[in-house]
C-alpha cells in the first residue's frame, strides 16, 4: 500500500538539501526499493502558490492540509536550516489589520501589500496559519500538533545536533544522519533507517 509522506526541507537550488530530497523521491518511485510512497509536499494540484496574491498565511494553510493528509513527516536538516527565516514576517497576530503589510510569495520585486486577513478565527486542531513562524517551523509545529510520525535526518554522514533549530531540540535523540559510507569510499542514503522509520519492516 502506498504511503503518503510529507518531506520538509530547504529547497534552495544553490545551498539547500535537494540532494537528500532527490534520493528520497527516487526510493519512493523506483522498482528496486521496497518502500512505496508519494511526497505530499510535491504533488499539489492547483497550489495556492500559483495565485498572484498568495501570502505566507495562504502557504501555511496549504502546508497544514498536506501534512494532515500524510502519515509521516520527514524533516531534512542541513547546515543552514536553523537560520532560514522565510515566512516569519507576519505580524497580524499582534497587530491590527490596518497596520500590517506583507510580501506576496516570490514577488519581492513588487514590494509589500496590506494584509488581506481582515478578521481571524480559531484554528481548531491545526496550528493557525496567522503566525510569525518560519515556513519550516510551521511545518514542524503542525506535524507535532497532529501527532504525525516525525522523522529527522541530517544532510550529513554524522550526527550534527548543532544544526537542529532550537524548536526541534527535544527531538535530538531521534535525529539520524541521512548518509552512510558505502564500500566504494563514497556515501549512500541510509535506506535501512528510512525503511524502518516509515514502518516497512
pLDDT band for 112, please (50, 70, 90 cuts): confident
* 169 alpha carbon, distance to own chain's centre: 16
Phi, psi angles (nearest 5°) of residue 8: -105, 125
Give me the mean pLDDT over the 149-175 stretch.
97
User: Could you tell me which residue, 176 or 43, shows the higher pLDDT?
Assistant: 176
Give me the mean pLDDT over the 90-110 stretch.
81
For the cut 90, the answer to whether the pLDDT of residue 126 exceeds it is yes
Q: How far is 45 from 55, CA to CA, in rounded Å?
A: 18
Pairing mode, strands 113-114 and 101-102:
antiparallel
* 62 alpha carbon, distance to own chain's centre: 12
137 near 73, Cβ under 8 Å?
no
Q: How far is 14 from 2, CA to CA, in rounded Å?
A: 31
User: Radius of gyration (Cα) for the chain, nearest Å?
Assistant: 18
pLDDT of residue 6: 93
| DSSP β-bridge partners for residue 150 | 73
In terms of C-beta density within 10 A (0-12 exposed, 13-18 middle, 19 or more buried), how is residue 122 classed? exposed
In terms of C-beta density within 10 A (0-12 exposed, 13-18 middle, 19 or more buried), how is residue 73 classed? buried
Give me the mean pLDDT over the 86-113 stretch.
82
153 near 175, Cβ under 8 Å?
yes
Among 41-50, 103-112, 129-138, which stretch is predicted with the lowest mean pLDDT? 41-50
| DSSP β-bridge partners for residue 154 | 77, 177
Amino acid at each position: 500500500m502506498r504511503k503518503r509522506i510529507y518531506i520538509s526541507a530547504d529547497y534552495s537550488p544553490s545551498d539547500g538539501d535537494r540532494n537528500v530530497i532527490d534520493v528520497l523521491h527516487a526510493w519512493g518511485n523506483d522498482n528496486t526499493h521496497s518502500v512505496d510512497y508519494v511526497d505530499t509536499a510535491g504533488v499539489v494540484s492547483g497550489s495556492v502558490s500559483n495565485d498572484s496574491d498568495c501570502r505566507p498565511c495562504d502557504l501555511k494553510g496549504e502546508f497544514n492540509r498536506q501534512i494532515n493528509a500524510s502519515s509521516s513527516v520527514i524533516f531534512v536538516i542541513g547546515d543552514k536550516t536553523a537560520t532560514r527565516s522565510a515566512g516569519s514576517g507576519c505580524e497580524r497576530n499582534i497587530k491590527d489589520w490596518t497596520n500590517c503589510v506583507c510580501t506576496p510569495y516570490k514577488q519581492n520585486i513588487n514590494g509589500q501589500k496590506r494584509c488581506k486577513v481582515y478578521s481571524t478565527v480559531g484554528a481548531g486542531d491545526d496550528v493557525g496559519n496567522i503566525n510569525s513562524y518560519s515556513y519550516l517551523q510551521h511545518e514542524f509545529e503542525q506535524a507535532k500538533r497532529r501527532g504525525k510520525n516525525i522523522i529527522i535526518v541530517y544532510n550529513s554522514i554524522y550526527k550534527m545536533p548543532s544544526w537542529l533549530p532550537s524548536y526541534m531540540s527535544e527531538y535530538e535523540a531521534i535525529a539520524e544522519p541521512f548518509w552512510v559510507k558505502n564500500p566504494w569510499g563514497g556515501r549512500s542514503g541510509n535506506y535501512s533507517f528510512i525503511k524502518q522509520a516509515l514502518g516497512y519492516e
